Amino acid sequence: MGAARARRGCAVKRLAWLIVGYATLVFFALVFLYPFVIQLSGTFKTEPDASARPLAPFPDPFTTGSFVRMFESTDFPRWLLNSVLVALVVTIGRVFLDSLAGYALARLRFGGRAAIFATIVAMMSVPGVVLLIPKFLVLKQVGIYDSYAALILPLIVDATGVFIMKQSFESVPVYVEEAARIDGAGIFRTYWSVVLPMIRPALLTLTILSFQSSWNEFPHTLVAVQSPDLFTLPRGLADLVSGSLGAGTQYPLKLGAALVATVPVAVVFIAFQRYFVRGATEGGVKG
Amino acid sequence: MRVLTLRRGRRSGIYGRQATAGWVFVAPVVLILGLFLLLPIVMALYVSFTRWNGQGSPFTGDVPMAGVDNYTDLFSKPGLARQDFMLSIRNNVYYVLIVVPVQTVVALFLALVVNQRLLKGKTFFRTAFFFPSVVSSVAISVVFLFLFTNSGAVNALLAALGIHGPAWFSDPRGVVHIVLTNTGLVDPSAPPSALAGHELFGLSWWEWLSGPSVALCAIIALVVWTTCGTFMLLYLAALQNVPVELEEASLLDGAGPFQRLRYVTLPLLRPTTFLVLTLGLIGTWQVFDQVYVMSQGDPAKTTLTPAFLSYRTAFRGFEYGTGAAISFVLFLIIVVLTLIQRWVLRERDGGAR
């Protein structure tokens, strides 16, 4: 009898814990996701509706007017195109150049290797926001300020990526390369067709992190370009909010543009979630 | 193995080829990082000693030199430059003091809840909490700007609770001032002379102790909301390494869940907590995007931060020397924090071995 009651007491306690646990999880899920619901529904609301019923998850009436205005009265298509271009080139460049350097630092013997690696590790912790004026100076001096080269070149390699690549190459057993070399493969061939395929998960992590960070990049575009033709989505969006249109109006339009800036990363995130998790826990956290 | 070493020994040519290949492989990275990271730092350091106004090149003899004035003016010369700088420091200190502890506690709490073995749907909730960390900070700032408009979602929620929400991005008063005024303790037109009459670096104590403005609080809410997920992942990774035997042993000892948390889990998580705290400290001094999009330093400079002030001074005020000096002071703050972090982490690694 006593044991049965104790067991029932235990079950009640367990149930209470479960309810509290799930309630907490659902509450926080709402806190973290509902702003995106508001963003999504706000995009398809009319302006009076958006300001009268900011919390409502469904637009009433439903309108795609914000997209029409986005394409007709702003340079939005241009920003989108620029963002796609920058993200693609930067991602491909980073994966190739970072892995190349990572391989050399992990495997090849050459003078100055230790010094280069130490410098790269030190550079990982140089905060981007203190480099705004410096980057602007160099871009001006080199003569590429306000061009695609200014948008892309400074981002095309990154110290953290090199670091991640070096670590992964070191996890590949050496005998694989020795065997390839005995078979007469050159150094580049060994890197490209023997070792690189063996670190595919790390490459995917780097690809995803590079895409995410170049797609989201904002401060760099502030000091690299000034003509609206060269704006990327974040830059155009920031301009839309803080500039010409002023604050407090046209929220469906702004939310719509923000939505387009959010969706690609969201899709990649949902498809490749565990690589994001890897990136966050391995590569350290960036501002 | 011996065969291989012999081969290496005989064919010394391979080292020559490796050396060439090594340099060719690292060349792009070295060139670009050198050109866009190292060289800029040196150039900006030079500019921080000049009065360059953005016209022409800063490296000709025509640009007037300032010596260390750009730096000392920030601390000792009465005037607008010092006042703005001190306001930005004050704002950022409040920002750090709130963001770092709150995001650490929330991240730990979320990790502990998600890690409960009894609860299902772990992956979904982990994804949901982490999602805000990966999307564009500019896009998120736009959404939050909408949430915090006067008739926005946040004020609608507050109204449902019977609270009249503030005008988030136009009320320039600090929350401490608001509380003191609303409770009738202090008349805002005549603040206590002990505080208003004395100053430190050009700001009166009354201003230093204002607390963050509601606008800064909105930015704080946004940042905590975005960063929690990432730090939760760090805690989750650490929690997965907590040995099951330890938990079982503490269960056998009759420890309740809170005692287990206090005496078993938290001490094991201490290295992660240190990492989260220091990453938070380093990150919070770099806040820029959110300020740029949401407030541009307004209302009444209460969301001005050193990072944004540096940008504004250079690119809007055309005082590149002062702007560069501010960014180097900020750089110094961050470098010191980073060195402390690396030093302590290294110490700990050495001790564990």
Any idea where the domains of chain B sit in the sequence?
15-70, 76-174+211-352
- Report how far apart, in Å, the C-alpha atoms of A42 and of each of A39, A200, A251, B168 are: 5, 40, 8, 20
Q: Which one-letter DSSP state was computed for residue B204?
A: E
B246 touches chain A (CB under 8 A): no
- A103 plus A46 within the same structural domain: no
Give the HSE-up count for residue A183: Cα atoms under 13 Å, Cβ half-sphere: 10
pLDDT value, residue A225:
92
List the CATH number of the domain containing A243: 1.10.3720.10
- Sequence letter at residue A138: V
Residue B218 pLDDT > 80: yes
For residue A4, give how far its alpha carbon lies from the nearest alpha carbon of chain B (Å): 20
Q: Note whether residue A233 is domain-resident.
A: yes
CB A35 within 8 A of CB B147: yes
pLDDT value, residue B223:
94
Based on DSSP, count helices (H) and strands (E) in chain B, helices before strands. Answer: 19, 2
- A247 plus A217 within the same structural domain: yes
- A137 plus A261 within the same structural domain: yes
Residue pLDDT, tens place only, B125-155: 888 899 998 899 999 999 998 888 888 888 8
Residue A186 pLDDT > 60: yes
User: Considering only CB atoms, which chain B residues are within 8 Å of A273?
Assistant: 127
pLDDT value, residue A283:
53
What is the CA B184 to chain-centroid distance, rounded? 35
What does the alpha-carbon distance between residue A57 and residue A252 come to, in Å, rounded to a whole number?
14
- Looking at per-residue pLDDT, the higher value among B244 and A105 belongs to A105
Length of chain B in terms of residues written: 353
B258 touches chain A (CB under 8 A): no
- Looking at per-residue pLDDT, the higher value among A30 and A47 belongs to A30
Q: Please give the structure tokens belonging to residue B17.
A: 């080829």
- A52 plus A190 within the same structural domain: no
For residue A5, give how far its alpha carbon lies from the nearest alpha carbon of chain B (Å): 20
Q: Please give the structure tokens belonging to residue B64.
A: 């007037």
Mean pLDDT score, A58-71: 81
User: Considering only CB atoms, which chain B residues are within 8 Å of A25?
Assistant: 113-114, 119, 121, 125
Cα angle value B240/B242/B248 (rounded, 5°): 120
Query: Which single residue is written with the structure tokens 């035997």?
Result: B245
Question: What is the percentage of chain A residues whose pLDDT exceeds 90?
Answer: 29
pLDDT value, residue B11:
46
User: Considering only CB atoms, which chain B residues are within 8 Å of A21?
Assistant: 113, 116, 118-119
Of the options 3.40.50.2300, 1.10.3720.10, 1.20.120.450, 3.40.50.970, the CATH number for the domain spanning B76-174+211-352: 1.10.3720.10
A130–B114 CB contact, under 8 Å: no
User: Considering only CB atoms, which chain B residues are within 8 Å of A31?
Assistant: 225
Of B131, B151, B230, the CB nearest to A32: B131
Residue pLDDT, tens place only, A170-185: 888 888 888 888 888 7
User: Considering only CB atoms, which chain B residues are within 8 Å of A257?
Assistant: 142
Q: Please give the structure tokens belonging to residue A122.
A: 């030190």
Mean pLDDT score, B108-117: 88
pLDDT value, residue B8:
46
Name the phi and psi angles at B213, rounded to 5: -75, 165
pLDDT value, residue B182:
79
The residues in A 224-243 lying below 8 A from B, measured between CB atoms, are 233-234, 237-238, 241-242
User: Considering only CB atoms, which chain A residues are within 8 Å of B121?
Assistant: 25
Using the 3D structure, point to which of A63, A85, A110 is the last residue of a domain.
Answer: A63
DSSP B151-199: TSHHHHHHHHTT-----TTT---BHHHHHHHHTTSS-TTS--HHHHS-E
Q: Where are the alpha helices (DSSP H) in chain A?
A: 2-43, 47-52, 65-73, 76-107, 113-124, 132-142, 148-152, 159-170, 174-182, 187-189, 200-216, 219-224, 233-242, 251-271, 273-282
- As for how many domains chain A has, the answer is 2
User: Considering only CB atoms, which chain A residues are within 8 Å of B143?
Assistant: 35-36, 38-39, 255, 258
Of A29, A154, A242, the CB nearest to B296: A242
- A57 plus A80 within the same structural domain: no
Of A125, A131, A280, the CB nearest to B40: A131
- A41 plus A91 within the same structural domain: no
Of B36, B230, B293, the CB nearest to A238: B293
What does the alpha-carbon distance between residue B161 and residue B158 come to, in Å, rounded to a whole number?
5
Residue pLDDT, tens place only, B304-335: 999 999 998 888 888 888 888 898 888 888 88
Mean pLDDT score, A207-221: 92
A276–B40 CB contact, under 8 Å: no
Q: Which residue of B has its CA nearest to A150?
A: B36
The residues in A 56-85 lying below 8 A from B, measured between CB atoms, are none
Query: Which single residue is written with the structure tokens 């002071």?
Result: B329
For residue A51, give how far its alpha carbon lies from the nearest alpha carbon of chain B (Å): 6
User: Considering only CB atoms, which chain B residues are within 8 Å of A277?
Assistant: 126, 130, 233
Q: Please give the structure tokens belonging to residue A287.
A: 């501002």
Domain hosting A15: range is 2-63
Band (A274; pLDDT cuts 50, 70, 90)? confident
The residues in B 203-232 lying below 8 A from A, measured between CB atoms, are 225, 227, 229-231
What does the alpha-carbon distance between residue A187 and residue B118 come to, in Å, rounded to a whole number?
52
Residue B10 pLDDT > 50: no
With CA atoms as reference, report the closest residue to A35 among B144, B126, B157, B215. B144
Of B32, B133, B138, the CB nearest to A157: B32
Q: Note whether residue A70 is domain-resident.
A: no
Residue B12 pLDDT > 60: no
Q: Note whether residue A33 is domain-resident.
A: yes
For residue A1, give how far its alpha carbon lies from the nearest alpha carbon of chain B (Å): 23
- Sequence letter at residue B16: G
CB within 8 Å of B52: residues ≥ 6 apart: B58, B63, B320, B321
User: Considering only CB atoms, which chain B residues are within 8 Å of A270?
Assistant: 127
A156 touches chain B (CB under 8 A): yes
pLDDT value, residue A130:
83
Band (B241; pLDDT cuts 50, 70, 90)? confident
User: Considering only CB atoms, which chain A residues are within 8 Å of B283?
Assistant: 285-287
- Of B10-14, B101-105, B158-162, B260-264, the range with the lowest mean pLDDT is B10-14
A54–B39 CB contact, under 8 Å: no
Of B118, B310, B311, the CB nearest to A18: B118
Residue B62 pLDDT > 60: yes
- A21 plus A112 within the same structural domain: no
User: Considering only CB atoms, which chain A residues are within 8 Å of B44?
Assistant: 131, 133-134, 137
Using the 3D structure, point to which of A11, A31, A63 is the last residue of a domain.
Answer: A63
